[in-house]
Structure 1
Amino acid sequence: MDYEIFNLGDVTLQSGVTLPSAFLAYKTYGKLNEQKDNVIVYPTAFGDQHVQNEWLIGSGMALDPEKYFIIIPNLLGNGLSSSPSNTLPPFDRAHFPQVTIYDNVRLQHRLVTEKFGIQKIALVVGWSMGGIQAFQWGASYPEMVERIAPISGIAKTWPHTFVVLDGMKASLLAAVGFDSTKLNQLTSADMRAVGRVYAGWGFSHSFYREELYRELGLDSLEDFVTGVCENSFMKMNPHNVLAMLWTGQHADISSNPSYNGDFDMALKSIKALACIMPGSTDLFCTADDNEYEAKLISNAVFNPIQSIWGHFAGRGINSTDNQFIDDNLKHLLAISRNG
């Protein structure tokens, strides 16, 4: 096992349900300095685990483990932290309680403060649902978080994003005839259709038109859709996916007692220096949505990744996009919040 477990005990979620013996899986890179101020928190995205984040960590990179103490907490529902696939009855599989982004960040805060005694975070960075968590950290703990860098991630699930995620959910529920009493019959093979649906949203029109999947060593469109999109989803547990889809569909940094649904106020409350990096051709976490959000954060820079890799411009696949992200993170980390 290449990660550690932080036991949270019995956790009462935003829904009011108590999840017994909850835990966060996490991995750290580098060493915490004596001042405990060299901390970077780097949450995982939908369907990802800590290993998928490691492309952005390395010697000489912005996230340099020789300089920073980097913590990757795994999202609840991703199969490593408390999830439908690893929770005992009565909360196993389709019975797993609803978990919000706010829940995730609150529990990550416990990890950071209780396990490590950290009071200042130099940067929270994340891709996609990791980006939403970066925004949530900034809104929930404005005095603690010095910088945020959401990559291809929005501060709430806007209506169109909700519909895209709903299409993924529907393609899975169709396998059991939309009968909620049969959810426990779902298997990973039923995830094939989800991968097909996602293939149309994860990458841009130009990505397909210019056949960029050839850069991944695939000879045809069919090879890409089956070999990459279908296969990656079929490796996931369908109950974990349903749990994460619920988390994604209901994400909103203002949906909590601090802001009571006032989205603009939540954005205005973020004190962190922010570098917001949408993919310029992202079809469902759009640059337009991020631009609206950036305008309400007092110390935000809106810096789209000019890329035809769509949502996946932020996923560490294309070297030009990776360099852009790393350069921007280096610049952000070089700036003092006080000037």
Structure 2
Amino acid sequence: MDYEIFDLGDVTLQSGATLPDAFLAYKTYGRLNEKKDNVIVYPTAFGDQHVQNEWLIGEGMALDPQKYFIIVPNLLGNGLSSSPTNTPPPFDKANFPQVTVYDNVQFQHRLVTERFGIQKIALVVGWSLGGIQAFQWGASYPGIVERIAPIAGMAKTWPQTYLVLEGVRAPLLAAVGFDSSKLGQLTAADMRAVGRVYAGWGLSQAFYREGLYRELGFDSVADFMTGVWEDSFMKMDPHNVLAMLGTGIRADISANPAYNGDFEKALRSITAHAYVMPGSTDLFCPADDNKYEAELMPHAVFKPIESIWGHFAGRGINKADNQFIDDSLERLLALHH
């Protein structure tokens, strides 16, 4: 096991449901300094685990473990933190309670303060659903978070994103005839169709038109669809996927007692220096939605990743995009209030 566990005990979720014996799986890189102010929190995205974040961490990079103490908390529902697959009955499989982004960030805050005694965070960075968590950190804990860098993630699930996530969820519902009482019967094979649906949204039209899948060793779009999308989704448990989709579908940094749904107020309350970095061709977290959000934040710079890699411009695959992200984080970490 290359990660650690932080026990949360029995937690009351935002929905009012109790999740017994909840826990966060997390991994740290580097060392906490004496002043405890060299901290970077880097939450995981939908379907990802801490390992998938490691491309952005390294010596000589912005997220340098020689300089910073980097904490990567795993998303609830991802199979490592409390999830449908590792929670005993009666909260296993399809009975896992609904978890929000707000819940995740509250529990991460407990990890950071209770386990490490940290009161200042230099940066919260994340991709996709990790980016939404970065926004939530900025809105929930403005006194603690000095900088945020949401990459291809937004401050709430805008209509386009909602439609895509519902479209990704639909094959799983269809597999049980849209009878939610039968969701417990889903198997990994039911994930194949999910991968096919997602394939059209993860990358841009130009990516496919220009045949960039060839750079990844695939001869045709069809091979790429089965070799990458079907394959990666079939490795995920359908119940974990449903739990994480639920978290994504309901995401909104203002949907909590602090802001009571006042989205603009929540954005204006993010006092952290922010680099908001959408993929310029992202089809399901459109850059325009981020532009609107950044304009309402007092210290935000809108910095699109000019790339035809769509949503995956932020995923650590394409060299030029990786360089842009690393350089931007380097600059952001050099900013002082």
TM above 0.5, yes or no, is: yes
Q: Could you tell me which runs of 5 or more consecutive residues in structure 1 were left unpaired when the two chains were aligned.
A: none
The aligned counterpart of 1:166 is: 166
Tell me whether 1:86 sits opposite 2:86 in the alignment: yes
Q: What is the rounded CA distance, in whole Å, between the counterparts of 1:215 and 1:260 in structure 2?
A: 47
Aligned positions of 1:21-32 closer than 5 A: 21-32=21-32
Q: What is the rounded CA distance, in whole Å, between the counterparts of 1:185 and 1:89 in structure 2?
A: 15
Shift of 1:105: 0.1
SS in 2 for 1:301: strand
The aligned counterpart of 1:205 is: 205
The aligned counterpart of 2:156 is: 156
The aligned counterpart of 1:269 is: 269
Shift of 1:181: 1.4
Q: What is the rounded CA distance, in whole Å, between the counterparts of 1:263 and 1:236 in structure 2?
A: 33
Tell me whether 1:248 sits opposite 2:248 in the alignment: yes
Aligned positions of 1:1-339 closer than 5 A: 1-336=1-336, 338=337
Say which is worse superposed, 175-184 or 48-57, in terms of deviation.
175-184
Q: What is the rounded CA distance, in whole Å, between the counterparts of 2:100 and 2:63 in structure 1?
A: 27
Shift of 1:227: 0.4
Shift of 1:229: 0.4
Amino acid of the structure 2 residue aligned with 1:3: Y
Aligned length: 337
Deviations 1:182-227 (A, max 9, x none): 1111001100000000000000000000011111111111111000
SS in 2 for 1:323: helix
SS in 1 for 2:247: helix
SS in 1 for 2:103: helix
SS in 2 for 1:255: coil
Shift of 1:173: 1.1
SS in 2 for 1:77: coil
Shift of 1:78: 0.2
Shift of 1:34: 0.2
Shift of 1:160: 1.4
Q: What is the rounded CA distance, in whole Å, between the counterparts of 1:249 and 1:332 in structure 2?
A: 29
Amino acid of the structure 2 residue aligned with 1:330: E
User: Normalized against structure 2, the TM-score is what?
Assistant: 1.00
Q: What is the rounded CA distance, in whole Å, between the counterparts of 1:196 and 1:228 in structure 2?
A: 10
| Percent of aligned pairs sharing the same letter | 79
Shift of 1:111: 0.1
Amino acid of the structure 2 residue aligned with 1:303: K
Q: Could you tell me which runs of 5 or more consecutive residues in structure 2 were left unpaired when the two chains were aligned.
A: none
Which aligned runs of 4 or more in structure 1 are off by greater than 2 angstroms? none
Task: Give me the CA root mean square deviation.
Answer: 0.4
SS in 1 for 2:37: coil
SS in 2 for 1:218: coil
